[in-house]
Structure 1
């Protein structure tokens, strides 16, 4: 045994395990902060109290600032956290759900639970949407959503005249509060209206949609 190892052992310590535990604790604290910040931003907007966020997360202010040195860093972290979780929900739906429509349904409800429609209008001026980290997660969401739709259409369970943009618009709009109506008051209707939308996707379609399917290219801002 080396002298350093002997010293640690004599003090009742160990040469392994401490660093992984510290990293795991730090990762859990980071996730608690991001979850609390997401809820706070949905309810109070981008100027939500950082002290209250730390308190809700069950950590001290120093821990919050160690992970996120300022408000903009926290907002960036929340947006990446949410988009990554939505992408993971899509991947999980593709992997675990038996039926194509059930996979799309599971993903839509999971994505709505992340409240992306409420967050984006509040935070859009505080982070760069072309940031590589967020762009990568968004691209992954788009690809997985398109695959969910393609499978359901191929199985004859979803109408052929829709595209990924139609689903992305609906998820954004249905999780966005109405003007003058707080997020908490509108949340109880989200699942109801999301199910109405999903039923409208089913094939055979009872009516013909005007115009054409919304594509991602049309939704992206023009330079």
Structure 2
């Protein structure tokens, strides 16, 4: 009986993760008004399963937001802890944010997320953790002389949602990486500069 209940819990967690991942992709691609049936179809589950896990759209948005923010916090902590310098950690984290198309997701979720934060302490806590990790990297990169002194934490946090649009058939698939390099160059102290 124990094996069966553990298996059911694992299946339920798997369904929940599938739903959250599908919703994250759907929200990023189509906004938060995407039909719930489309999300269930993407997740490979029935609509009833989706509604058992998330009774309404707001619950799903909060669930997606928490999972997404938790992933960002883990990415920021890993970049901070694994890279040899704060600058390397910061640039890795910003590159990962761009790769995740964080800007597109933020455009879809942010208005709802701000309302949700007021009602859900778990979202507030995880956002604080992201801010703490990014602030630590910024402070250390400044102290190391790798980041301009006039760059504020809010400036870097805005760059987390950098979007680079390249249309279908774009001859330069490296456009996003090139734009990120240009942005990062702008964050570096200039030689013979008072800043």
TM interval, shorter chain, is 0.7 to 0.9
Task: Determine the C-alpha separation between the residues in 2 that align with 1:21 and 1:95.
Answer: 35
- 1:175 maps to 163
Q: Aligned pair in 2 of structure 1 residues 207, 166: CA closer, same or farther (>3 Å)?
A: farther
Task: Return 5+ residue gaps in structure 2 as ranges.
Answer: none
Task: Determine the C-alpha separation between the residues in 2 that align with 1:119 and 1:147.
Answer: 25
- 1:145 maps to 134
Match of 2:33 among 44, 47, 61: 47
Contact persistence 2:164–2:176 (CA under 8 A): no
Q: Deviations over 1:92-111 (max 9, x none)?
A: 11121223222111111222
TM-score (norm 2): 0.82
Q: Aligned pair in 2 of structure 1 residues 122, 206: CA closer, same or farther (>3 Å)?
A: farther
Task: Determine the C-alpha separation between the residues in 2 that align with 1:90 and 1:159.
Answer: 20
Contact persistence 2:24–2:64 (CA under 8 A): yes
Equivalences for 1:180-195 in 2 at 5 Å? 189-195=175-181
- 1:3 maps to none
- 1:165 maps to 154
Task: Determine the C-alpha separation between the residues in 2 that align with 1:72 and 1:147.
Answer: 32
Q: Deviations over 1:79-119 (max 9, x none)?
A: 12211111110011112122322211111122234434323
Task: Determine the C-alpha separation between the residues in 1 that align with 2:13 and 2:56.
Answer: 18
CA RMSD of aligned residues (A): 2.7
- 2:8 maps to 22
